[in-house]
Amino acid sequence: MIKKFLLFLLFIIASQFVKAGIVVINGLTHSYQVDKGQVYKGTIEIENTSTNPQNVKLFLQDFSYQSDGSIFYTEPLTNKRTNSNWIKLNTNLITLKGKEKTEVRYEITVPNSIAGPGSYWSVIIVEPVDDITPSDNKPGVNITSIVRYAIQVITDYNTEKAKPELKFEGVKIEKQEKQKILKIAIANTGNLYCRPTANVEIYDRKNGQKVGSFSSQTMGLLPNTSKTFDIDISKILPNKYTAVLLATDEDENAFALNVELEVKND
């Protein structure tokens, strides 16, 4: 009984910790159209939702990801299309009182020489920092898990001469609980950030009759990265089909691929 009570108490404490903490209010993607030699200003709005004071540190990193789910945070200037050396924060450490909100300002100074048109980016990491306190029970310190925020700062230069190039890297069907999900891996091999949506039109392989058209959520895709776009095709009956895959961005650039699909029984 005592063990069960202790587990319940730990659950309550953990739940309270999850509910409280640092929140970034004004979004995790900040985009700018930029010109050489110009200065642009931005802010990060941060709120402490807990009743206790909270220290927060901010720092820059380079950032990329791939369709297999891997995400890479690396030191500034490790990405060829980094803008981390263009960005200067007005502070690297703040302390927020309970329920307090604040703004951290940053400046983007675009250099007079840029390698070429397209998107350049990095991320500003916002990380709560807990005070290190000695443990009452044993030597050492208590360590608490924290949640970090990565705010993408994307600068697009000379976009008239830049464009995304979307490439289909893989297609498969997976069962997730009671749903059948068509997973489409798409890479952006171009030099411009875009926000594509994946679509699929499915046809009966025998008679060519269209049996359905479905779409994914829209997601951002940086140059030289890839993501997996999920489409729910649970309404499609088990059979063999032909399909047309379409990837369309916000500027209506479209990329297509013909594939064959087999929807199997559960």
Same fold, 22-161 and 166-263: yes
pLDDT in tens, 201-235: 999 999 999 999 999 999 999 999 999 999 999 99
Domain boundaries, the chain: 22-161, 166-263
pLDDT in tens, 14-71: 333 334 489 999 999 999 999 999 999 999 999 999 999 999 999 999 999 999 999 9
User: What is the CA angle 236-259-190, rounded to 5?
Assistant: 120
pLDDT in tens, 94-105: 999 999 999 999
Confidence at 131, pLDDT banded by 50, 70, 90: low
* Range 22-161 classified under CATH 2.60.40.10: yes
Q: What whole-number distance in Å separates Cα of residue 254 and Cα of residue 247?
A: 6
Query: What residues contact 169, with CB distance under 8 A and at least 6 apart?
Result: 67, 185, 186, 187, 226
Q: What is the CATH number of domain 166-263?
A: 2.60.40.2360
Q: What whole-number distance in Å separates Cα of residue 233 and Cα of residue 214?
A: 7
In this predicted structure, what is the pLDDT of residue 128?
Answer: 95
In this predicted structure, what is the pLDDT of residue 2?
Answer: 39
Q: Smallest Cα–Cα separation from 190: which of 162, 210, 230?
A: 162
